[in-house]
């Protein structure tokens, strides 16, 4: 059913950028998380029927037009998935390579300039947690939301030390009467999550097979956190090494 050399392809990105910055800002009273400097590779399938957008015009194009663009300018374009509010690659876009963060090995890094911004509404999401519940950002208005973006729930990033600061923040907020819905994305399957997540409080509800949200929000560091206020506005953002930017906020 796949009809061309590009109808099936892999999307690769670097999970972390700014290695020196991550270590330089690590505060002494916070656990020092080992940096993840590997690549994350996902295979995503595109077919003739997949919606394709020309990034330059923002308009949908036919598969034939898309194929002709590739043939006329070989090596100048790259096809990448567009992730919807469910964290799924529901469409694709063709974009000039000059507009992408492309590494020497051909992998694509998320552009940090396209990340959510403090003071702006968070792009909508619908996540299904390991608890079986659906978490719709539109229906969560009136509550704080903490989004944690992970690669996998495993060492060296996922440890007791790395989750303790999260659970402490959630628990302390709860004692003050502030409810925070805390969710964590991952590549892990449901079965892997059940095996990896300990009985202790890790500070968030795992969302199996949800790494597409890391793409949707252009997250290029991991673990990374976004705090959303009761009105759906981004209140704070921080990598794990600067989690105090979130935990020290006075929430009302």
Residues 124 and 236 in one domain: yes
Residues 38 and 136 in one domain: no
Residues 130 and 174 in one domain: yes
Q: Would you say residue 15 lies in a domain?
A: no
Residues 182 and 125 in one domain: yes
Residues 55 and 78 in one domain: yes
Q: Which domain holds residue 104?
A: 32-109
Q: Would you say residue 103 lies in a domain?
A: yes
pLDDT score of 35: 43
Residues 49 and 131 in one domain: no
Choose one of 74, 93, 109: the last residue of a domain: 109
Best CA proximity match to 146, nearest among 137, 133, 154: 137
Choose one of 109, 128, 149: the last residue of a domain: 109
**pLDDT tens for the 252 residues of the chain, in order:** 333 333 343 433 333 333 323 322 333 344 444 444 445 666 788 889 999 999 999 999 999 999 999 999 998 998 989 999 999 999 999 998 876 655 555 555 566 667 999 999 999 999 999 999 999 999 999 999 999 999 999 888 888 888 999 999 999 999 999 999 999 999 999 999 999 887 778 999 999 999 999 999 999 888 999 999 999 999 999 999 999 999 999 998
How far is C-alpha 11 from the geometric centre of its chain's CA atoms? 14
Give the CA radius of gyration of the chain: 19
Strand, coil or helix: 233: strand
Report the number of distinct structural domains present in the chain. 2
Q: Would you say residue 201 lies in a domain?
A: yes
Residues 123 and 228 in one domain: yes
pTM above 0.95, yes or no: no
Q: Would you say residue 23 lies in a domain?
A: no
* Beta-carbon contacts of residue 54 (< 8 Å; ≥ 6 apart): 60, 61, 65, 69, 93, 94
- Whichever domain contains 140, its CATH number is 3.40.30.10
Inter-residue contact 232 to 137 (CB < 8 Å) = yes
Residues 72 and 139 in one domain: no
Residues 184 and 218 in one domain: yes
Q: Is residue 61 packed enough to be buried (19+ CB in 10 Å), middle (13-18) or exposed (0-12)?
A: middle
Q: Would you say residue 101 lies in a domain?
A: yes
Q: Would you say residue 191 lies in a domain?
A: yes
pLDDT score of 221: 85
pLDDT score of 182: 98
Residues 169 and 229 in one domain: yes
Strand, coil or helix: 21: helix
Residues 55 and 176 in one domain: no
Choose one of 49, 83, 109: the last residue of a domain: 109
Q: Would you say residue 17 lies in a domain?
A: no
Residues 72 and 148 in one domain: no
pLDDT score of 39: 56
Q: Would you say residue 98 lies in a domain?
A: yes
């Amino acid at each position: 059913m796949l009809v061309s050399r590009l109808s099936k392809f892999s999307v690769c990105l670097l999970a972390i950028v700014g290695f020196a910055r991550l270590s330089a800002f690590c505060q002494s009273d916070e656990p020092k998380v080992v940096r993840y400097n590997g690549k994350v590779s996902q295979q995503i399938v595109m077919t003739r029927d997949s919606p394709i957008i020309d990034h330059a015009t923002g308009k949908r194009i036919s598969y034939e037009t898309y194929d002709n663009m590739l043939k006329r300018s070989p090596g100048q374009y790259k096809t990448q998935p567009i992730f919807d509010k469910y964290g799924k690659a529901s469409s694709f876009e063709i974009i000039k390579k000059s507009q992408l963060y492309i590494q020497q090995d051909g992998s694509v890094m998320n552009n940090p300039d396209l990340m959510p911004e403090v003071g702006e509404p968070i792009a909508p999401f619908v996540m299904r947690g390991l608890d079986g519940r659906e978490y719709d950002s539109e229906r969560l208005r009136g509550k704080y939301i903490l989004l944690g973006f992970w690669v996998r729930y495993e060492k060296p990033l996922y440890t007791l030390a790395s989750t303790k600061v999260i659970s402490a923040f959630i628990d302390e907020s709860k004692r003050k009467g502030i409810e925070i819905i805390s969710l964590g994305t991952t590549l892990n399957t449901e079965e892997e999550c059940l095996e990896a997540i300990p009985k202790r409080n890790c500070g968030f509800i795992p969302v199996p097979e949800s790494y597409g949200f890391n793409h949707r929000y252009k997250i290029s560091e991991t673990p990374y956190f976004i705090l959303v206020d009761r009105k759906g506005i981004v209140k704070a953002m921080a990598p794990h090494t600067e989690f105090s930017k979130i935990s020290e906020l006075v929430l009302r």
